Structure 1
Amino acid sequence: MTFQEFCLLLISVLTSALGQLFLKLGATKLGKVDAGNAVSHILKIVLTPELLMGLFCYGLGAIAYILLLTRVSLSVAGPSASIIYIFSVLMGYFIFKEPIPIYRAFGLGFIVFGVVLVVWKAS
């Protein structure tokens, strides 16, 4: 993966991770959805700035990912995009004070190791 391709991947992952952050902030603002309030929540989604920003970030991430797919194979881009999980867990930990149990930390380590193996090019 070239530096430009890596930058596209990073932009895609970071904007998608920001999208997740804003979606979580908006979802927290909405509260829990159940059968009795589902319709009103759907209407509130359109009016919640955090949710709209989350969708906008996801859109930017998708555009960067599409540009990445014009340059690298799906078998490299797809697994590489899984590093978004690391950012999601870190945002959960630092912003929402969610714990990171040891088994989750090991899982994240396996993801990083797997991405390195996928993008590795033997000289």
Structure 2
Amino acid sequence: MTLKEFCLFLLAIFTSAAGQFYLKFGALRLGKVNGTNWLGHLVGVFTTPELIAGLCFYGIGALAYILLLTRVNLSVAGPSAALIYIFSVLMGYFFFHESIPLSRSVGLGLIICGVLLVIWKK
């Protein structure tokens, strides 16, 4: 991967992770949906600034990923995008005080190893 490709990759990863962060933050503001409040929640999706920001970040991430795919093989870019999962778990831990049990830590380690094996060049 060249420096430009790596920068596109980082942009796609970080903006997608930021999108997840803002979507979670906005979802917490909305509260739990149920059979009686679903319509209000549906309207709330389009009026909650955090949710709109999350969707915008996802859009930027998708555009960066598309541009990356014009330069890099899907067999490298696709599995490498799994690094978003690492950032999601870390954001959950640091910002939303979610726990990281041992099984999840092992899974994250396997994801990192898998990405390294996919992008490794001889």
TM band (smaller chain)? over 0.9
Residue identity in the other structure for 2:114 = G
Residue identity in the other structure for 2:10 = L
Specify every segment of 5 or more residues in structure 1 that has no aligned partner in the other structure, as ranges: none
Residue identity in the other structure for 2:88 = S
* Distance across 1 between alignment mates of 2:22 and 2:113: 28
**Partner of 1:63 in structure 2?**
63
* Distance across 2 between alignment mates of 1:39 and 1:22: 21
**Partner of 2:77 in structure 1?**
77
* % identical aligned pairs: 61
* Distance across 2 between alignment mates of 1:112 and 1:68: 20
1:41 aligns with 2:38: no
Measured against aligned partners, the alpha-carbon deviations of 1:50-99 in whole angstroms (never above 9, x if no partner) come to 00000000000001000100001111111000000000000000001111
Matches within 5 A, 1:1-123: 1-122=1-122
Runs of 4+ with >2 A deviation: none
